[in-house]
Amino acid sequence: MILKKFYLKCLSHGSYFLADEDSREAAVIDPQRDTGLYEDMIRTGGYRLKYVLETHLHADFVSGHSELASKTGAEIVFGEEAHAEMRHSPVVDGDILRLGRNVEIRVLATPGHTPESVCYLARDLAEPSRPMKLFSGDTVFVGDVGRPDLLGADMPARALASLMYDTLNGKILTLPDETEIYPAHGAGSACGRSLGDAEYTTLAEQKHSNYALQPMDRESFITLITEDQPEAPAYFKEDARINRQGPAVLDAVMAGLRPLKPREFAEAMDEGHAVLDTRGPEDFARGSIHGALDIGLDGQFAGWVGALIPKDASIILIAEEGREEEAALRCARVGFDRLAGYLEGGMDAWKAAGLPVAAYERAGAAELERALQEDADAVVLDVRRPAERQTEFLPGSLHIPLDHLRERARELPKGKSILIHCASGYRSAMAVGVLRQSGFTDVRDVAGGLRLYADQGYEVAIGAPEESEAVSGR
């Protein structure tokens, strides 16, 4: 048996290439949308891709299942409850798939994260003493299990949590302790609450360390995995729909990406295209375009694109030279396919054309302290997630999470300067763009965020703020 893991850090996504060494028949499990890495392995290794195995309808990224099938002739496999609309083979609990004579793959129906979730249990028949390998999708992670609350009104979280209880106790925990577990996500994914990172784990390790695999009754389990889940990003439901229908061919999506000269770019803005600056906070502050939103490529880019840009938006990009296609691809990975072009020559060309530039000086820790203690005309805005503010905060600051800032911007006082902080300065620059788009002009953010503020010796309150301060501040 040949097994290789591919890990896409920006989406905390693990996919897998599994093959029979003798026959060279292969399968790809939970592929990312851009499939060139699998195609390269197939070509250089002389493999024949037989299956594209999906553990469920992914919500956090667009899958490469249709892309791989169209290029290789492989068979797409889903659990029958997925009701996938592209050509595929539905499987049920107990079905057996084979790669050559030596690799047996048993389907385990494992509803809980979603109703259609399945896991694939692979066994090397040539070496039966080797541990079986469980490709667990979003059912079991390192240190966690898949969250059951992503379907909203389509299926209550408590009902899915009850199914997950049966899945874990009736399927997963009955496997041998030495079974190796290969999940679809690691730390940073929004598909669970407290995921860890590891190349793989074992069932024995998870029995010992995973809070959700400890002995407990059904009601305790349901309460445990439904309470205090973070809010699901807004784009999740749409990506699950795309994966059920089958996404557009990626080459066709990328063909829409064309260079736009500065005047063409300005005209596209006037036509209503959304401007996405992907260079990062420092470059954004030094000079960007009025109305642009900053989401730096060197961070959790895809998730914030999904959270902050309307799904139907047509996007034009500002990027570092040579990274234009990377930026477009990373948008497409989460289903943002309407890519109308990028600024040719970047901001240097824009400035050379004499077009207006929006710039500001980022604040430091000392200025943040003055705004909190002395400046009655300043408002300090915390845009971190609620769970972060429950552990440490700045007394006197307001709190609106970044992914709700656009809809709640009206809660901010008019006529005051707004100083924004997050944990490190990555999200606060995004918030500057959001508030500018909402009509605020005197807006800056804090370089280095709360980490730098604490590192320079300023006092940060530990614990949760009082209820009256938790949302609206002073």
Which residues partner with 13 through β-bridges?
Answer: 8, 185
Residues 6+ apart with CB under 8 A from 333: 8, 10, 11, 32, 33, 34, 61, 62, 302
What is residue 469's predicted lDDT score, i.e. its pLDDT?
Answer: 55
Q: How confident is the model at residue 467 (pLDDT cuts 50, 70, 90)?
A: low
User: What would the pLDDT profile of 286-316 be if each residue is shown by its tens digit?
Assistant: 999 999 999 999 988 988 998 899 989 999 9
Nearest to 336, CA basis, from 4, 33, 119? 33
DSSP 296-331: -SSSSHHHHHHHHS-TT--EEEE--TT-HHHHHHHH
**What predicted TM-score, i.e. pTM, was given to this entire model?**
0.90
| 416 close to 377: Cβ distance less than 8 angstroms | yes
The arithmetic mean of pLDDT across residues 385-402, rounded, is 94
What is residue 195's predicted lDDT score, i.e. its pLDDT?
Answer: 79
User: What would the pLDDT profile of 213-259 be if each residue is shown by its tens digit?
Assistant: 999 999 999 999 998 888 888 889 999 999 999 999 998 899 889 99
Tokens encoding 183: 């999940």
Which residues partner with 26 through β-bridges?
Answer: 19, 49
Tokens encoding 466: 């009082």
Residues 6+ apart with CB under 8 A from 175: 121, 132, 134, 203
| 29 close to 18: Cβ distance less than 8 angstroms | yes
Coil, strand or helix at 70 = helix
Tokens encoding 320: 């570092």
AA identity, residue 237: K
Q: What is the pLDDT of the chain when averaged over all its residues?
A: 94
CA gap 375, 80 in Å, rounded: 61
Could you give the domains of the chain?
A: 2-237 (3.60.15.10), 248-352 (3.40.250.10), 365-472 (3.40.250.10)
Nearest to 313, CA basis, from 298, 297, 291, 296? 291
Using a pLDDT cut of 70, give the percent of the chain over it. Answer: 98
User: What would the pLDDT profile of 336-379 be if each residue is shown by its tens digit?
Assistant: 999 999 999 999 999 999 999 999 999 999 999 999 998 888 99
Q: Count Cβ neighbours within 10 Å for each residue of 323-332 and write b for 16 or more, e otherwise.
A: bbeebbbbbb
Q: What's the burial of 164, exposed, middle or buried (CB within 10 Å: 0-12/13-18/19+)?
A: buried
User: What would the pLDDT profile of 32-59 be if each residue is shown by its tens digit?
Assistant: 999 999 999 999 999 999 999 999 999 9
| 417 close to 395: Cβ distance less than 8 angstroms | no
User: What would the pLDDT profile of 408-418 be if each residue is shown by its tens digit?
Assistant: 999 998 889 99
